[in-house]
A and B are shown apart, each in its own frame.
Chain A
Amino acid sequence: MLMISPRMASGMQEKQYTPSLLNFFVYNPTFGQKEGEEEKKILFYHPSDVEKNEKIRNVGLCEAIVQFTRTFCPTKPAKSLHTQKNRQFFFEPEDNFWIVMVVRNPMIEKPNKDGKPPTVEYQEEEIIDTVYGAVVKQCYSMYKLFNGTFGRQMEAGGVELLIQKLEKFFYRYLQTLHLQSCDLLDVFGGISFFPLDKMTYLKIQSFVNRVEESLSLIKYTAFLYNDQLIWSGLEQDDMRILYKYLTTSLFPRHSEPELAGRDSPLRPEVAGNLLHYGRFLTGPTNLKDPEAKFRFPKIFVSTEDGYEELHLIVYKAMSAAACFMISASVELTRDFCEQLDGLVGPQLTLLASDICEQFTVNRRISGPEKEPQFKFIYFNHMNLAEKSTIHMRKTASVCLTSVHPDLMKILGDINCDFARVDEDEEIIVKAMTDYWVVGKKSDQRELYVILNQKNANLIEVNEEVKRLCATQFNNIFFLD
């Protein structure tokens, strides 16, 4: 299948606006069904300073659209609504609870001569449903990770508690949404795994097992290195969202002080313990502090019959991070934290330097990483493994990509095509900018390659991708 992507207009004085968040609200149509009590349906509304009647109007509109479209297909309710200026995304995570996100379409402002107001040109086709649909789902998952389900709060403290929790969570969370840099990776919501040899991996296993055995309060453990996952005792879906939290929120917040110089005021006080480099990323910053509080964030993970609430202890030594999860019904004490610090600190420090050494050795064997002729994104639906050479290091604020947004858009489109059919397929696209974009789907795996070979023909591109698969993915079964 060959597609030609539309070319985006560009002009010197034109002003480009990226997609941005207009509204975000949570409602339940079964609340406030009486005339005049419509406001009760609204559980959360962003921005909060919108006038009440407008809120009611917008929620009512969404409700109507969903109701109306349901008549066409009762099993698959509407997911999004495209308009010229914006796009709305609907998501019903729990029965009758709806989350709606309204995104303003990207636009170009063209200045007009003679002092006339500039013409605004909305680019309605630039936004991909699957990408922002995934963002809404992620918002819910993140909320659920820290608060449990909406239903749980309703049971615990009624609608008042739910409203309070939603407010508290989304007020901060929405500020961290960077809609302009959302892309294919948000659709995947994958996990980047740290490549490791068998022996070092077994050592980590041994470490995790020993800690769990001697500190039997610990229910689950996850182990990461360099922000990449090595071991998860949590089930896949819980790990997926915890991983997202760790890598996009917790770690970036703590890496900045680490990167800061030794004498920087940002650098946290290093405890007097020279035996190891371990420290708590959640909970007490300094164990020695007599005022230290032993409170940890609580998270909710799934169990066979519902959910359980856990303390989340994140402990880090150099580049190795271990997350220990303990039932929230247990109160964590100074004593326990000191015990954990004493047991885990030295071992984790040692492991971290072991892994680092292994990693350097492997690097040296495989030779210095050359800037390859191609960039790729790989994702496996089975284990959520994702690998991207397109994205730079994620920071708290932005996720940088090394390719033009146009190309990212093509990747997103190909992904949508893949999602439509079950069978394996391959799509090759020549972009206007002379890049070749190739998408391959084999069983549960997807691979997207961007080739910078403007003079290559279709056959050559095909050959090139085959070569790439043979070198980069030779240990998995990938149909040619």
Chain B
Amino acid sequence: MEHYLELCENPVQFENASSVNNVFFDEANKQVFAVRSGGATGVVVKGPDDKSSVAFRMDDRGEVKCIKFSIGNKILAVQRTLKSVDFINFIPDYPHTEFTQECKTKNASVLGFCWTSWNELVFITDQGIEFYQVLPDKRSLKQLKSQSINVNWYQFCPETAVLLLSTTVQGNVLQPFAFKSGTMSKMSKFEIELPVVPKPAKLSLSERDIAMATIYGQMFVMYLKHHSRTNSPTAEVVLYHLPREGVCKKTHVLKLNTTGKFALNIVDNLVVVHHQSSQVGLYYLYLPLVFDTLYSSSWSVFQPDIIISASEGYLWYLQVKLPPTVNLLQDKGKLMDFLLRRRECKMVILSVCSQILQGGEKGRLPIVATVFDKLNQVYKEYLEAEQSYTAAVESGPSRGSAAPKRPVRTQAVVDQSDMYTHVLSPFTERKGVSHKFIIAVLMEYIRSLNQFQITVQHFLYELVIKTLVQHGRFYMLHQFLQYHVLSDSKPLACLLLSLESTYAPAHQLSLDMLKRLSTANDEIVEVLLSKQQVLGALRFIRSVGGHDNVSSRKFLDAARQTGDQMLFYTVFRSFQQRNQRLRGSPGFNPGEHCEEHVVHFKQLFGDQALIKPSTV
């Protein structure tokens, strides 16, 4: 069986838990604390990367219940009793001696605490919450706010700084609070539907069955709903969408079709359900997937994507293995929707595209079209964001609005050169594919780009032309150009010129294109002169008003090369007239290097044929 999930290759290693070494994990900073002998023989902090490791000692002042750094490792908070939390400054040049804060509510027990910034934290007690600011220089805390409320247990989402409190006797009314730079705001509470309502009422919602997560930037509360035997026999995961403002709503139900012990993770915006008793089940928001792996009972699961084995001393990040997932969805459109939302998706998407083109079955073009459209939709959104960013930067900073943020280019942005290099170019070179199908696919890609108003890049046109020319389909090419499917450009016009020897009409197509570009008058003159159409070139340059600036030598060279003496005469006289008009004298300037032509002209027609300088 294929594996769709894997543990990262380089886990964070720490000293395994033992009778002398206690291990703690802080979800906010993703740090593992190994506390030896209450800290007296050392505290080692590891993760999430090697650089952020810290080691220190602290006095053993009782058993440590909880230990966490504030954001940025500025202040360390240690809870040893149910009444108070101790603090140690880690800011250089500040006194290192510990200081203590007792909870202010009488007879309350501190359930825990959460840092909300580098110097603000909230105590959660069984009777409410207390929000403090730490003043490290004064080695004291200032209470910012507090709220009285009976609390069974709590959960904290560090990414959004939202605290979720379980209240009421049954514990299923959840009260969220949001924290932001010194302020604490109460969000609207909501109730989790319990599978059975117990009588008499007792605590029925366990904190183990609730997890908070951010999925596609939205906050969700996930509830693992275990059904009683009488009800539907299998468990399910219920998702509640928790918006910053407004009411929390139940939005998704993921049926697990099995029972037992579960744990939840979020990996790359996918909901992962671990099934401890048998295998590990993986559930996406859209599709159920199962994979199996050896699963140790000593592992603990942390949000969003962390698995820790305290006994072995490892911290892993869970990763989605995308390549095997491509076979799970037959509908390629849905597969693209799925892949486009994954972090490491680009190479997988490109290989799926190649795979679709490889197959031999009929009816592939509509699928190809759908896939191209989905890719180009994302591509276009990125291009637009990039464009408005550039526009904002160019217009300069405006008062009142934040500095423009450069749009992030995710892997889901698959541009034309990605497609060219990894999909289309290898595809056109593959043997045994009918040229009809190759051209159909290329045209489909161009159609899709046009539909999203994305400018098609030259190399794609080149590929189309190369393919058509290779198979001698010149008339097809002609028709595409006739309807401007291949947009005008100088490189394209030059490419066409190079085809003239194999396909004569390419000459006309090229000239037309140069004409439409209206910035290619010099090229038109060159083309006409190379065809010995000297008069044509002269008439053209006159009609576009460029006659005064062209090099007379170039024209005279071409006229002389034709061997047509009358033509040479005409062109020569025409430039003499130009000189007369521009400079009041028919002679050529030395810079024009026409001396040899003057000599030639005199030889052919004699001195008297020259226009004489008019006498003033």
Contact = CB atoms under 8 A, between A and B. Distances in A.
A383 B447 contact: no
Interface string B425-468: 00000000000110110011011001100000000000000000
B478 A206 contact: no
A322 to B, nearest CB: 15
B507 to A, nearest CB: 8
A202 B447 CA distance: 6
Give the size range of A's interface with the partner: 20 to 34
Given A198-B484, A382-B505, A479-B540, A214 B362 contact: yes
A206 B515 contact: no
Contacts of B484: 198
Nearest to A385: B482
Contacts of B540: 479-480
A67 interface: no
A475 interface: yes
A389 interface: no
A232 B515 contact: no
Contact of A480 (B362, B476, B504, B543): B543
Contacts of B444: 206, 209
Contact of B440 (A201, A203, A209): A209
B403 to A, nearest CB: 37
A444 B508 contact: yes
Nearest to B451: A199
A443 B540 CA distance: 13
A210 interface: yes
B524 interface: yes
B369 interface: yes
Interface in A362-402: 380, 382-383, 385
A361 interface: no
Contact of A235 (B475, B516, B524): B475
Q: Which of B369, B440, B443, B483 has the largest count of A CB atoms less than 10 A from its CB?
A: B483
A144 B437 CA distance: 30
B434 to A, nearest CB: 10
B479 A477 contact: no
A387 B532 CA distance: 30
Interface in A231-255: 231-233, 235-236
A193 B514 contact: no
Given A198-B483, A236-B475, A475-B515, A209 B443 contact: yes
Nearest to A205: B443
A213 B212 CA distance: 49
A479 B539 contact: yes
B483 A201 contact: yes
A429 to B, nearest CB: 21
Interface in B350-369: 362-366, 369
A196 interface: yes
Given A199-B451, A202-B446, A206-B444, A216 B512 contact: no
A231 B440 CA distance: 14
A432 to B, nearest CB: 31
Give the size range of B's interface with the partner: 35 or more
B404 interface: no
B539 A480 contact: yes
Contacts of B28: none
Interface string A26-56: 0000000000000000000000000000000
Interface in A437-480: 443-445, 475-477, 479-480
A95 to B, nearest CB: 27
Tell me what chain A mostly uses at the interface: helix, strand, loop, or mixed.
mixed
Contacts of A213: 362-365, 437, 440
B57 to A, nearest CB: 72
Contact of B447 (A193, A205, A233): A205
A479 B525 CA distance: 12
Contacts of A476: 512, 515
A202 B483 CA distance: 9
Contacts of B364: 213
Nearest to B443: A205
A424 interface: yes
A198 B443 CA distance: 12
B613 interface: no
Nearest to B476: A233
Contacts of A413: none
Contacts of B536: 424, 479
A20 B544 CA distance: 49
Contacts of B533: 424
Contacts of B515: 475-477
Nearest to B524: A477
B508 A477 contact: yes
Given A198-B485, A213-B364, A475-B515, A443 B447 contact: no
A199 B447 CA distance: 7
A231 B447 contact: no
Interface in B465-499: 475-476, 478-479, 482-485
Nearest to A234: B475
B111 interface: no
Contacts of B514: 477
B447 to A, nearest CB: 4
Q: Which 8 A-B pairs have the closest CB atoms?
A: A209-B440, A202-B447, A382-B505, A477-B511, A477-B515, A201-B483, A476-B512, A480-B543
Interface of A: 193, 196, 198-199, 201-203, 205-206, 209-210, 212-214, 216, 230-233, 235-236, 380, 382-383, 385, 424, 443-445, 475-477, 479-480
22 contacts: A198-B483, A199-B451, A201-B485, A202-B451, A205-B443, A210-B365, A213-B363, A213-B365, A213-B437, A216-B362, A232-B479, A380-B508, A382-B505, A383-B479, A424-B536, A443-B511, A444-B508, A476-B512, A476-B515, A477-B508, A477-B515, A480-B539
